[in-house]
Chain A
């Protein structure tokens, strides 16, 4: 299997001399779900955000579709971002826009600003948005304002917006951390469906180890800005969890 994403000695310092990421080396296969677990403040979010340059890396390489995402700027950066869908912890929908408008935001990289200002989206985009809404279980919600939805519904819209991009890679930054346990499972199931039906790699940050085990094909454990575990979910022993999170009282 070919690798979709190759990260080489990636580091990030928000404050000079205090690295949050310390030389991350990892490759992500062209399909499947990879989850990243680890304690708060260990750089999981930073790692995900470096990939689409919402956070600018300090050093290292992120190779994706023939580009080094750590270096691209301007139009090239925008074209790279079009290929990468992102799902956020707090959904980050535009609250005052309708569900349909939020979905069409996923096409903004392909629609000229002139047409975007006049809300002139290609008919095929609108048709796709409608069928996607049905897929995520929100048929009939197209004209609801995003701020009228529940958390679970918002995250479905968030995922649909990312899928609208027809991305080659899907990033999810703690997509279930603001949701109840039942909805969290539904959202993870939806992400897994997207990964399978679109044959794209999905990279998910999360805190819920059990949920990560259940849905991941591969788990990365991070601690202190480094990857300390990399393997299949069944290899994630208590010993390794102790190593990632420290302490052991929380395990039982």
Chain B
């Protein structure tokens, strides 16, 4: 008599087959694209010459560099501020646990539209609409911020504990007060997390919208690439890394102030940082 072998998980022939097909397709696609070992070798050769021309970085055109960086930063900060202010009402109106369907659907539609396109595509549209320059960049990143924060804020509100809201409602509080005391405290920490993340994201994207003429360091970077000024390119890239890192430190400080109620002196005391570091947006 043959004993059946007990097993805890259902055997999946389908999954094995799918993996095999994927492997075959990877090999096929590589052959199709002409990616051969010779091509990889030539690419590495080219890359090393490119890297060689990037060093040492050339910071002599510091005025142009600084102007571009400052403009990128301003685009990012203005777009974040404007985006957050506009995303809050849309995020709130989109929450289905607080709003009737005839309000939440239009609000969600606005947020979905704002998120439909990559910021660069939106930037191209605004460059065509309002002309070259920082204004187009600000508008493009504002739209992106509404899409991102609006969606996450709606989701955060839909996840609040309705028991706490119910208790505030039962005291006879008007709706605005229910929001202030029953809903906002539950989503505030997460909201600060979204906002600082969006600022970080806008800083990175603000360096890119310049490529399509919407202001900021991106235009300078693109021009340097086209003129083969690779030493200036590397100077710009190093400055961008510094800018993003500074933004990261700023975001951490903001989170510590709003979420951990840290005082200014605590912010600059190195030992206290580690304690709250793993805490990203929620505890």
Residues of A within 8 A of B (CB): 52, 54, 77-86, 88, 90, 92-97, 101, 105-109, 111, 113, 116-117, 158, 161, 165
Contacts and interface: CB of A to CB of B under 8 A. Distances in A.
**Which interface residue of B161, B171, B180, B188 has the most chain A CB atoms within 10 A?**
B171
A165 B167 contact: no
A84 B170 CA distance: 8
Nearest to A171: B170
Interface size class of B (residues with CB under 8 A): 20 to 34
Contacts, number: 88
Nearest to A115: B177
A108 B185 contact: no
A209 B182 CA distance: 33
A83 B164 CA distance: 19
Contacts of B189: 96
Overall SS of chain A's interface: mixed
A80 B175 CA distance: 15
B174 A78 contact: yes
Given A82-B171, A109-B173, A111-B177, 8 more contacts: A77-B172, A78-B172, A105-B173, A108-B173, A108-B178, A113-B174, A161-B171, A165-B172
Contacts of A95: 161, 164, 185-186
A54 B169 contact: yes
Interface in B173-196: 173-178, 180-182, 185-186, 188-189
B272 to A, nearest CB: 19
Overall SS of chain B's interface: helix
A108 B163 contact: no
B166 A108 contact: no
A81 B180 contact: no
B174 to A, nearest CB: 5
A93 B164 contact: yes
**Which interface residue of A52, A79, A88, A108 has the most chain B CB atoms within 10 A?**
A108
B171 to A, nearest CB: 5
B171 A94 contact: no
B168 interface: yes
* A-B complex: 4 closest residue pairs judged by Cβ atoms: A109-B172, A108-B173, A113-B176, A82-B172
B186 A80 contact: no
B259 to A, nearest CB: 10
Given A86-B167, A94-B186, A105 B172 contact: no
A117 B167 contact: no
Contact of A81 (B161, B172, B177, B188): B172
Given A93-B164, A93-B167, A79 B181 contact: no
Nearest to A80: B172
A122 to B, nearest CB: 14
B171 A81 contact: yes
Given A96-B186, A96-B189, A116-B180, A108 B172 contact: yes
B172 A116 contact: no
Contacts of A93: 164, 167
B164 A92 contact: yes
A165 B176 contact: no
A94 B173 CA distance: 14
Contact of A96 (B163, B180, B188): B188
Contacts of B172: 77-83, 108-109, 165
